[in-house]
Amino acid sequence: MVYLARCSEELYIIKDHWVENPLQESRIMKWVNGICGVPNLVDSWMVEVCPGVIDVTSQYHSEESHVYMKSIQMHVWTVISLHGHHLSRFRTKHELVQCIRDILVSKYILSLTRSLLI
């Protein structure tokens, strides 16, 4: 899930997600901080169901089913700066299509970078 949040007139994106490695995304976001076109990491943390207890997928399954689980994922919230414009701000279809193209090119480049990082 992704949420749009406001704090002191600033807008942020909150990403609520489940991952195997909760530190990987924040580590990569810190690494690419300051690159034009990439949102900045504000904060990231593992969700706790109560103080000191991390929310993990294994707690929602019986102990017998743990054997069949491919992975145990942790619940993470990541807050990033808002980057980009509302769709209504594009003046022409060409601008919108160019933006979508840029997103796809960026995703391709990041997928190549990811394979080099792993």
- How confident is residue 116, by pLDDT bands cut at 50, 70 and 90? low
Q: What is the mean pLDDT of residues 99-110?
A: 84
Tell me the pLDDT tens digit for each residue of 6-57.
999 888 999 999 988 888 888 988 988 888 778 899 999 999 999 999 888 7
Q: How confident is the model at residue 83 (pLDDT cuts 50, 70, 90)?
A: confident
Looking at residue 110, its pLDDT comes to: 77
The percent helix, strand, coil of the chain (3-state, each to 5) is 40, 30, 30
- Please give the Cα distance from 97 to 24 (Å, whole number): 31
Do the beta carbons of residue 15 and residue 58 sit within 8 Å?
no
> CA-to-CA distance for 16 and 76, rounded, in angstroms?
6
Q: Which one-letter DSSP state was computed for residue 40? A: P
